[in-house]
Structure 1
Amino acid sequence: MSRLRVGVVGAGNIATIAQLPTLVQRPDVELAALVSRRDDPGPLQRRWGFNRVFRTVPEALDAGGLDALFVLTPRGEHASAVEAGLRAGIDVFCEKPLASTVDDARKLADLADETGRILMVGFNRRFAPSYEAGRLAFGASGVDLCVAQKNRAGSEYRATFENAIHMIDLLRWYCGGEPVRVAATAYGDDPWQEDGLSAHITFSTGSTGILVAARNAGAWSERLEAYGKMTTARIEAPDSVAITAGGVTTVRTMSAEAYGWSTATQTLGFAQAVGHFLDRVADREQPLTSGREALRTQELLDLILETAGLPTQEQPGREWTSHAQR
């Protein structure tokens, strides 16, 4: 069996925790190329077994021999790398968000359609076992009401865009349809560094989604509650889900033993997202979190930010760091 020749752009914190441990264990994957701007990428090459190392994406693509590209850089570098991969005729997996602006995300989704390539964005929460179990409890029609909350100790530059976007994507997935009304408020002195944000979203399905993100809560927490069809799902991410249906509550805990002492790579769905992408490359079906789906999530995020009176663009001249450092 021939192996899929994969190039990886960026091998920072998120890549070494989330995607690379899965890719290196796949017998059907060859880590053919690493793109890194580190002064000495040798340790990364040896650790993961990359065949070659390049300084830029164009250099890696010009060298040929790639079937797919994983773009795992900070978001400001996503658009150019994804576009280059699609135009080179290869399939692309991109960390979320797809691009820094809705306009760029739309162009990339259109380009994937035009080129007939698979484009998937790493909204890994849809693949986390706890969130999957909660969504499955409501069937194809989705929920009536969903409350999604993500707190993270301290604030950061564009916190909603960088973190709460996961919960916005889950609200779309659980509620179905597209937003028809949005009300949102935010607090904090710096509009590019929200201390907190809340939103009330009415979807075309009639479902309601509520988003809560408190950056000054003093602790990290992530939870989701969904209701409808005389059913309740309560999720404490990443490893607990309680489903109440027919008067009976079933609780599942994703224990370390059950996952072979795994880390967040499995419990938060990173490994499953990588597997889903590789399956879609093989069967040419659209991914659950395709570029088009990611665009719709980003459009809703922008609508929430605008309604709350927050900017949707990056702040000129502001330095930004990420867990996806290269």
Structure 2
Amino acid sequence: MNTNRLRVGVIGAGNIATIAQLPTLVQRDDVELAALVSRREDPSSLVRRWGFNAAYKTVEEMLAAQELDAVFVLTPRSEHAHAVELCLKRDVDVFCEKPLAPATQEAEHLADLADERGRILMVDFNRRYAPVYTAGREAFGDKGATFCVAQKNRPGSEYRATFENAIHMVDLLRWYCGGEPVHVAAHAAGEDPWEEDGLAATIRFSTGNTGVLMAARTAGAWNEKLDAYGDGKTVEVRAPETVSTTINGVTTSRELSAEAYGWATATDTLGFSTAVHHFLDRVADRAQPLTSGREAVRTQRLLDQILAAAGLPTEEQTGREWASHAVNAS
């Protein structure tokens, strides 16, 4: 038996937590689920299902009652900043759902706080941990992709759709192309700037590489894909299942189908479980996560530039701050 288990708290146990993080956490014999924060009137079913030691109504109550090593903040985005700040000030390492905060200035404050306190702060940009995207990125090495086109399309919009959902692809463009943005051009569709019908953008990076974002909310079905080119190589990702790499006319394909990947679910194929393991490993070795708070700020700052270039707001709409919701696996 492992007697040096990490005492972990979880804030929020909605769809994303039950699909992604909690099934991964209960598989680790070095983790003790010490505490849950839930708004449910009676969270006893969650406590029994996942094996929590105790449940609390607020983050403040949990932190007052428990000595924790790490906390997972899995609430809607409007609640992220408050919970993350409280945990960091108690010198607890934090894993936070994306985005880190509704406003980039808030996110930057949290990244600064984590540095000041010497804490690990990681944001769940899980696509960087998905096997297909990881394999595609490895093909380009330190130079990155000369051109990268990232798309996340789906039918129907939602409040702040690009910020809530297409931010995943913005983060992938930063990762694949490298460097910092030096020029951004963008165009949005639709009449409601708070619930746009989609957005397209072109980003020129300091590396000389170029990224293209497509986020169509007028599509006929959900799809997520990425095409990247450079140094005589082509990478085609069709998430979450396939990645093809072509070098000098020879194509190698990898398919993460149910049969090929041990009946894997989105928890594995979209990188959710690997992200959890990555965070816990960084808690142990104190190295910076791939998607640290500081990295998340850079992605959010680029997203702000894209939104501004498209004439969309970069802040929450007054009165709708609570319209965000916990993301699901899609």
Fold match, TM over 0.5?
A: yes
1:108 aligned counterpart, secondary structure: helix
Aligned to 1:320: 323
Distance 2:202 2:264 in 1: 35
Alignment-mate amino acid for residue 237 of structure 1: A
Query: Distance between the aligned counterparts of 1:324 and 1:230, measured in 2?
Result: 37
SS of equivalent residue, structure 1 residue 310? coil
- For residues 35-71 of structure 1, the C-alpha deviation after alignment (integer angstroms, 9 at most, x for no partner) is 0011111111111010000000011011122110000
In 1, Cα distance between equivalents of 2:88 and 2:67 = 14
Match of 1:71 among 67, 73, 80: 73
What displacement does 1:17 show?
0.5
Question: Structure 2 regions of 5+ residues with no counterpart?
Answer: none
CA–CA separation in structure 2 for the residues paired with 1:74 and 1:323: 4
Q: Distance in 1 between matches of 2:119 and 2:242?
A: 36
Report the counterpart of residue 42 of structure 1 in structure 2: 44
Residues 63-72 or 265-274, more deviating: 63-72
Give per-residue Cα distances to partners, 1:108-157, cap 9 Å, x unaligned: 00000000000000000000000000000111211100000000221100
Q: Which has the larger displacement, 282-291 or 310-319?
A: 310-319
In the TM superposition, 1:75-94 aligns within 5 A as 75-94=77-96
CA distance in 1, matches of 2:49, 2:278: 24
- 2:213 and 2:156 map into 1 onto residues whose CA distance is 18
Match of 1:257 in 2: 259
Letter paired with 1:151: N
1:182-201 equivalences under 5 Å are 182-201=184-203
Which 4+ residue blocks in structure 1 deviate beyond 4 angstroms? none
Q: Shift of residue 246 of structure 1?
A: 2.1
What SS does the corresponding residue of 1:152 show, helix, strand or coil?
strand
TM superposition shift of 1:321: 4.3
Q: 1:18 aligns with which of 1, 20, 32?
A: 20
Q: Distance in 2 between matches of 1:282 and 1:65?
A: 17
Q: Distance in 2 between matches of 1:250 and 1:205?
A: 27
Amino acid at match of 1:67: D
What is residue 210 of structure 1 aligned with on the other side? 212
1:149 aligned partner: 151
One-letter amino acid of the counterpart of residue 195, structure 2: Q
Q: Is 2:56 the partner of 1:54?
A: yes
SS at match of 1:46: helix
**Post-superposition offset of 1:317:** 1.1
Match of 1:173 among 161, 172, 175: 175
Asked if the contact 2:144–2:177 (Cα under 8 Å) also holds between the matched residues in 1, the reply is: yes
Partner of 1:221: 223
Aligned 8 A contact 1:15 1:324 in 2: no
Checking the alignment, whether the CA contact within 8 Å between 1:160 and 1:213 is kept in structure 2 is yes
Instruction: State the SS of the aligned residue for 2:288.
Output: coil
Cα distance in 2, alignment partners of residues 66 and 153 from structure 1: 41
Q: Which residue of 2 aligns with 1:301?
A: 303
Instruction: Name the structure 1 match of 2:241.
Output: 239
Per-residue CA deviations over 1:276-313 (Å, capped at 9, x if unaligned) read 00000000000000000000000000010011000011
Which residues in structure 2 correspond to 1:104-119 (within 5 Å)? 104-119=106-121
TM-score of the aligned structures, taking structure 1 as reference length: 0.98
Could you tell me which residue of structure 1 aligns to residue 293 of structure 2? 291
Q: 2:301 & 2:234 partners in 1: Cα distance?
A: 28
Letter of the 1:192 counterpart: W
Structure 1 distance, partners of 2:264, 2:155, is 24
Identical-pair percentage: 70
Number of residue-to-residue matches in the alignment: 325
CA-atom RMSD, angstroms?
1.0
TM-score, normalised by the number of residues in structure 2: 0.97
CA distance in 2, matches of 1:324, 1:12: 9
| One-letter identity of the residue aligned with 2:92 | I
Contact 2:95–2:122 (8 Å) recurs in 1: yes
Structure 1 unmatched ranges of 5 or more: none
Q: What CA distance in whole angstroms lies between the structure 2 residues aligned with 1:314 and 1:152?
A: 22
CA contact (8 A) 1:20 1:48 kept: yes
Task: Output the CA distance in 2 between the equivalents of 1:99 and 1:90.
Answer: 18
Distance 2:308 2:235 in 1: 30
2:160 to 155, 158, 161: 158
